[in-house]
């Protein structure tokens, strides 16, 4: 049997998950080969085809902290303290993410990926190769085949273990699906909405055109737009709109007039900040949004899927990358326990993790509806105000569903979902039924809420 130092892990995909995974595996003493189909984004301009910036929060930090990168990532972050809601009447109001001063961060995908690749470069145990597209994996023998984008040459590499961090279109997952010697479940579920990225430029002096420390949302019931700040003073704006259904859709916005008319009607304050709207609308791609679930994530103790390759989710909880980084944290714990026995490591890892990534996938779809429609409704705003008041007054006692999912990195997603959903239902029922009276103290309201939650949990 090989020692850990001799064992060779081949990782497909040097995106966010693959580069952190490579680093952590090398830190644990393995020999790592990291293969990426795109060019090295530190040397060439690479269109990632994905969101330009991301919401980065505590679960993601847990993964980076494990690799000793907390100090490296903080300078890349812009704190966002809450949602700045831009309602249809043009009014703005800030809805904090928490009553405990907790916040999430906006981070550039490229800056984060570059930082991770630079860290990989410092590890002699990691060999990185770019322009190498995986075309298939023999999942019984851990042999992976790559086509060199520049020379067209095809090479097959032998590893002890192959890990697929190659995103939603994973080549490893495809090889597992086509293997047919074991039962592999696979499902993908697309939303009727797609997304397009647009932008607000910085002011001439490099400052931000709207509040910097917020995630801006324009909820419009059927559609929505969001904007996250970038370090250069610009914002990346994402429009979520139906592909073809309804009055307004990507299909129907097919002329400059139609685009302008739609933005004048729905997002007039944003339109005033978008000098390049028509060019960006035409030139930037419209992309789909989907959930991918599959099982098993591993086979023969030779291959394992992680990150989006194992569980692609829609972006409405801002947890795709965060959950991918948390994957690495959870895997690492099983390596502490069972290193040397990959089959057991992979099995135990999936047994714990699948329930949690299924939970965040479902929560993310729920949040799509919450963000585009509910955030603008008075009952939802009343609920959020009460939750913030509970969190401010009783910071160790009350955590909203959002806080359980986003800030309680000690809690599994599945548990955050279970507690959060029941709590949401309880609080909405109590508001709707007029049970929270004006003269009631906050303490009494919280006790009533807890009582209702306990009753509902008991009835589950
Ligand atoms: P990827 O980032 O897709 O990386 C996969 C890598 O593998 C890429 O570098 C790719 O080039 C490479 N690759 C692919 N195929 C091959 C192959 N055959 N051979 C070799 N290499 C290959 N998450 C958050 O946490 N917060 C957010 O706010 C957020 N916002 C989002 C907004 C949008 C619009 C979208 C689409 C996603 C968002 N996400 C967010 C999700 C996040 O982008 C993903 O969860 C994250 O990128 C997953 O990382 P990954 O490394 O698993 O996959």
Together in a domain, 277 and 358:
no
Whether omega for the bond prior to residue 296 falls within 30 degrees of 0, making it cis, is yes
- Asked, for residue 148, whether it belongs to a domain, the answer is yes
Q: Looking at residue 379, what is its pLDDT?
A: 86
Together in a domain, 356 and 223:
no
Helix axes 16-27, 109-121, angle to 10 degrees: 30
Together in a domain, 384 and 455:
yes
Together in a domain, 331 and 360:
yes
- Asked, for residue 447, whether it belongs to a domain, the answer is yes
pLDDT at 111 > cutoff 80: yes
Among 338, 368, 398, identify where a domain stops. Answer: 368
For ligand 1, the distance from its centroid to the CA atom of residue 313, given in whole angstroms, is 10
- Asked, for residue 92, whether it belongs to a domain, the answer is no
Q: Evaluate whether 296 touches 350 at the Cβ level (below 8 Å).
A: yes
The residues, any chain, with a CB within 8 Å of residue 208's CB and separated by 6 or more, are 202, 229, 233, 235
Among protein residues, the one whose CA lies closest to atom 3 of ligand 1: 167
The total number of structural domains that make up the chain: 3
pLDDT at 371 > cutoff 80: no
Looking at residues 37-41, what average pLDDT do you find?
96
Together in a domain, 209 and 282:
yes
For ligand 1, the distance from its centroid to the CA atom of residue 336, given in whole angstroms, is 27
- Asked, for residue 452, whether it belongs to a domain, the answer is yes
- Nearest Cα neighbor of 197 from 113, 261, 109 is 109
Q: Looking at residue 267, what is its pLDDT?
A: 97
Together in a domain, 440 and 296:
no
- Retrieve residue 48's tokens: 């990632």
Q: Looking at residue 176, what is its pLDDT?
A: 98
For ligand 1, the distance from its centroid to the CA atom of residue 15, given in whole angstroms, is 6
Count other C-beta atoms under 10 Å from residue 396's C-beta. Answer: 7
What letter would DSSP give residue 46?
Answer: -
For ligand 1, the distance from its centroid to the CA atom of residue 206, given in whole angstroms, is 29
The residues, any chain, with a CB within 8 Å of residue 450's CB and separated by 6 or more, are none
- Asked, for residue 94, whether it belongs to a domain, the answer is no
Q: Evaluate whether 211 touches 84 at the Cβ level (below 8 Å).
A: yes
CATH number for the domain that contains residue 54:
3.50.50.60
- Asked, for residue 42, whether it belongs to a domain, the answer is yes
| Whole-angstrom distance, CA of residue 139 vs CA of residue 142 | 5
pLDDT at 175 > cutoff 80: yes
Which residues of 393-457 form beta strands (DSSP E)? none
Among protein residues, the one whose CA lies closest to atom 8 of ligand 1: 15
| Whole-angstrom distance, CA of residue 328 vs CA of residue 87 | 39
pLDDT at 5 > cutoff 70: no
pLDDT digits (tens, 9 = 90+) for 339-367: 999 999 999 999 999 999 999 999 999 99
pLDDT tier, 369 (very low <50, low <70, confident <90, very high otherwise): confident
Among 231, 258, 288, identify where a domain stops. Answer: 288
Looking at residues 144-168, what average pLDDT do you find?
97
Query: Reduced to 3 states, what is the DSSP secondary structure of residue 132?
Result: strand
Q: Is the ipTM of this complex over 0.95?
A: yes
pLDDT tier, 170 (very low <50, low <70, confident <90, very high otherwise): very high
Residue with tokens 């494990």: 66
pLDDT at 386 > cutoff 70: yes
Share of residues in the chain with pLDDT > 90 (%): 89
Together in a domain, 201 and 156:
no
Out of 129, 174, 321, 402, mutate this one to test ligand 1's pocket (max ligand atoms within 8 Å of CB): namely 321
- Asked, for residue 128, whether it belongs to a domain, the answer is yes
For ligand 1, the distance from its centroid to the CA atom of residue 297, given in whole angstroms, is 17
Looking at residues 163-184, what average pLDDT do you find?
96
214 CB-contact burial (10 Å; exposed 0-12 / middle 13-18 / buried 19+): buried
Together in a domain, 56 and 138:
yes
Together in a domain, 46 and 65:
yes
Together in a domain, 114 and 180:
yes
Indicate if ligand 1 lies below 6 Å from the C-beta of 321: yes
Looking at residues 384-395, what average pLDDT do you find?
95
Q: Looking at residue 4, what is its pLDDT?
A: 66
Range of the domain at 273: 190-288
Among protein residues, the one whose CA lies closest to atom 18 of ligand 1: 134
**Atom nearest to 309 CA in ligand 1:** 52
Among 368, 395, 415, identify where a domain stops. Answer: 368
Instruction: Determine the length of the chain.
Output: 460
If residue 247 lies in a helix (H) or strand (E), which one and from where to where?
Answer: none
Together in a domain, 284 and 408:
no
Q: Looking at residue 50, what is its pLDDT?
A: 66
pLDDT at 372 > cutoff 90: no
- Asked, for residue 91, whether it belongs to a domain, the answer is no
For ligand 1, the distance from its centroid to the CA atom of residue 457, given in whole angstroms, is 36
Together in a domain, 61 and 163:
yes
**Atom nearest to 238 CA in ligand 1:** 34
Average pLDDT, the chain: 95
């Amino acid at each position: 049997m090989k020692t850990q130092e001799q064992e060779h892990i081949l990782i497909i995909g040097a995106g966010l998950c693959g580069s952190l995974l490579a680093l952590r595996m090398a830190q644990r003493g393995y020999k790592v080969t990291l293969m990426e189909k795109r060019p090295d984004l530190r040397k060439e301009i690479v269109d990632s085809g994905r969101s330009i910036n991301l919401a980065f929060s505590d679960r993601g930090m847990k993964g980076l902290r494990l690799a000793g990168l907390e100090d490296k990532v903080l300078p890349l972050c812009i704190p966002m303290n809450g949602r700045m809601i831009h309602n249809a009447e043009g009014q703005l109001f800030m809805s904090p993410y928490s009553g405990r001063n907790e916040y999430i961060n906006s981070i550039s995908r490229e800056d984060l990926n570059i930082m991770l690749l630079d860290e990989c470069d410092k590890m002699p145990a990691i060999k990185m190769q770019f322009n190498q597209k995986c075309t298939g994996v023999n999942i019984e023998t851990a042999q992976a085949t790559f086509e060199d984008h520049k020379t067209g040459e095809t090479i097959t590499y032998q590893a002890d273990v192959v890990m697929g961090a190659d995103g939603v279109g994973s080549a490893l997952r495809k090889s597992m699906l086509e293997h047919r010697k074991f039962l592999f479940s696979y499902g993908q579920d697309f939303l009727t909405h797609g997304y397009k990225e647009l932008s607000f430029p910085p002011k001439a002096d490099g400052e931000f055109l709207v509040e910097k420390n917020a995630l801006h949302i324009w909820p419009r019931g059927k559609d929505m737009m969001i904007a996250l700040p970038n370090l250069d003073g610009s914002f990346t704006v994402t429009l979520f709109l139906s592909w073809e259904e309804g009055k307004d859709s990507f299909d129907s916005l097919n002329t400059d007039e139609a685009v302008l008319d739609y933005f004048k009607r729905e997002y007039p304050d944003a339109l005033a900040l978008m000098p390049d709207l028509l060019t960006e609308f035409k030139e930037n791609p419209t992309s789909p949004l989907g959930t991918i679930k599959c099982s098993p994530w591993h086979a023969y103790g030779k291959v394992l899927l992680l990150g989006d390759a194992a569980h692609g989710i829609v972006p409405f909880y801002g947890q795709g990358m965060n959950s991918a980084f948390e994957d690495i944290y959870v895997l690492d714990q099983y390596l502490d326990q069972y290193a040397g026995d990959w089959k057991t490591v992979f099995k135990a890892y999936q047994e714990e993790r699948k329930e949690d990534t299924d939970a965040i996938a479902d929560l993310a779809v729920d949040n799509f509806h919450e963000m585009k429609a509910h955030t603008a409704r008075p009952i939802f705003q009343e609920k959020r105000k009460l939750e913030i008041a509970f969190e401010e007054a009783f910071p160790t006692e009350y955590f909203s569903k959002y806080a359980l999912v986003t800030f309680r990195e000690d809690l599994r997603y599945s548990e955050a979902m279970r507690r959060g959903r029941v709590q949401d239902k309880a609080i909405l029922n109590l508001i709707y039924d007029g049970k929270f009276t004006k003269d009631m103290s906050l303490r009494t309201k919280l006790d009533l809420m807890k009582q209702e939650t306990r009753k509902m949990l008991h009835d589950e």
